[in-house]
Each structure stands twice: as C-alpha cells, then as structure tokens.
Amino acid sequence: MRIYKFIILFALFSLFSCQQIVDNYWERKAEENYSSPYKGVYIGTYSGSDQGTLRIEISAKDFVEVKRMSTLNAVNETFEGGMIGASFNQVKSRTSGFTILGNVISSPQNTYSGTWKIDEGNSGTWILKKQ
C-alpha cells in the first residue's frame, strides 16, 4: 500500500516539475523575442541651470545610452541606464551625476519631455523628438 502512495506522489511531482520546465522554456522564449516599443533614437535639448543637447538611444532590450553636450559648461559625456516600461531607470552619469528623469510616453505633438538633475539646485527640463 505504501509503495502505491509513493508511486502516485512521485508521478504527481514529476508532472508538476515537467510543467515548470515547459513554463520556464516559454518565458525564456518570450524574453528572447522581446523588442522594446520605445526602441529608437531621440534627439533634443535640455535647459535650466545648464543647457545643451541630448541624444538618447533606446535598444530593443531597453538599454539606454545618453550623449549629452553642454553648451554652458563645455561638458560632453556618454552614460547608460535602462528602462522600466516607458520610464527611465537609473539613467545617470557616474562622472557628473547628471540624471535623466521621466519617460517616453508621447504627447499630442509627438514630443517627449521630463526633468533632469545633477544635485540640489542644479536641475531643469528636457524635450526630445523621436527620429
């Protein structure tokens, strides 16, 4: 009698394990096939306590690369971050602390806007257009 219980439990456990393997396979396939709806190059300007131009490129896997060129402080830098949905996530320069805040949810004029900051007192806004 005990052996039958063991066999039944083993069979049930095996079925659940197989289903987990299949589920993991399809999750990995979905991740491999994912392409960000925000993928592309966005070009624009930023202003406030500093001003200049921005070029932001979002990859198919939501990797973000920012090229910033300051017209006031003669700073040219490139830094990276990521996306969570349409929002920028940890898009911050390690050297200057320049941080991009906001998202790429389009406005009626097909432009994108948000804020930036370096530290307390140094901040402003940005506006981009998708190329």
pLDDT in tens, 79-110: 999 999 999 999 999 999 999 999 998 777 88
Shared-domain flag, residues 16 and 47:
no
Shared-domain flag, residues 11 and 62:
no
Domain span including residue 73: 40-130
Q: Which of 111, 12, 101, 32 is nearest to 64 (CA)?
A: 101
Q: What is the rounded distance in angstroms from the CA atom of residue 37 to the CA atom of residue 79?
A: 21
- What are the DSSP calls for 69-104, one per residue? EESSS--EEEEEEEEETTEEES-B-TTT--EEEEB-
Residue 79: C-alpha distances to residues 8, 25, 82, 90, 109 (Å): 57, 34, 11, 10, 28
pLDDT in tens, 33-86: 889 999 999 999 999 999 999 999 999 999 999 999 999 989 999 999 999 999
Confidence of residue 17 (pLDDT cuts 50, 70, 90): low
Shared-domain flag, residues 21 and 84:
no
pTM equals 0.77
Shared-domain flag, residues 63 and 126:
yes
Shared-domain flag, residues 11 and 69:
no
Total structural domains within the chain: 2
Shared-domain flag, residues 16 and 59:
no
Residue 17: C-alpha distances to residues 7, 58, 71, 87, 98 (Å): 15, 37, 59, 36, 47
Shared-domain flag, residues 21 and 73:
no
Shared-domain flag, residues 116 and 88:
yes
Shared-domain flag, residues 64 and 126:
yes
